[in-house]
Amino acid sequence: MRWFGATGDALARTLSLPQVAAFEVVGSTMDEAHHLAAAGASAGTLVVAERQDAGRGRSGKRWSSAPRAGIWATLIERPRDAQAIGVLSLRVGLRLARVLERWTEAPIALKWPNDLFVSDRKLAGVLIEARWRDQRVDWVAIGVGVNLNVPRDQADATSLQDADAQTVLAEMLPALRAAAFATGPLSESEHAEFTRRDVAAGRAVLEPRPGIARGITTDGALLIESNEGVTPVRAGSLVFSP
């Protein structure tokens, strides 16, 4: 099997990874990654596909993609700091934003907890799933989808400009691995950068609870101001008020 013309073995050598499972089409790179991790795959194992028939997003949302329309990838890591998993999607978003701005016409903004936007249009998404054993993290699967072309059925989406898939992936992987092995809550500089990139700050939201978005905490909670005060919210999806 090949991914944008490259075999899995060739990608593993180029990206300095222990294993790359490359598919032209797959149900979900996330599901494939979990199968490999359960079978003992090493940290740094990557699953990539040119097309997904049953891609998976937050809350189990399923979607499909056109061939070669984006970078659909899931990275397996085995981090030691379980507490850092709560901010991993934010860390991945921050590091991806720095990398991907090379191919965007405007700065990349971040939407809690897992989306990257350019000029209010979705560019990429992140999905983090961890598996546990005896109160310890066994592995974490870091799923990333980045548009190379604007999906026909998503008028509110955008894509990278003049981007080569293999080049983008090579730039993304060090950022993903660094995010996976960072420890503790967001640092002061990470928190400040998220604040600069926060697409939701000051905007009215309907979910995960009605109010005004007021940023995030260093442990990854979304702050929502309402008549009851400012409440930290740690789960759910962010939906803006019309």
Per-residue model confidence (pLDDT) at position 60? 55
Phi (first) and psi of residue 94, to 5 degrees: -60, -45
Rounded to whole angstroms, the Cα distance separating 5 from 149 reads 18
For residue 140, the tally of other CB atoms under 10 A from its CB is 23
Per-residue model confidence (pLDDT) at position 53? 86
Exposed / middle / buried, residue 78 (Cβ in 10 Å: 0-12, 13-18, 19+): middle
- Tell me yes or no: is domain 2-190 CATH 3.30.930.10: yes
Domain ranges of the chain: 2-190, 200-240
SS3 78: coil
Bridge partners, residue 199, by sequence: none
pLDDT, tens digit (0-9, with 9 covering 90-100), for 181-220: 999 999 999 999 999 999 999 999 999 999 999 999 999 9
Considering the domain 200-240 in this protein, what is its CATH number?
2.30.30
Entry pTM: 0.94
pLDDT, tens digit (0-9, with 9 covering 90-100), for 70-126: 999 999 999 989 889 999 999 999 999 999 999 999 999 999 999 999 999 999 999
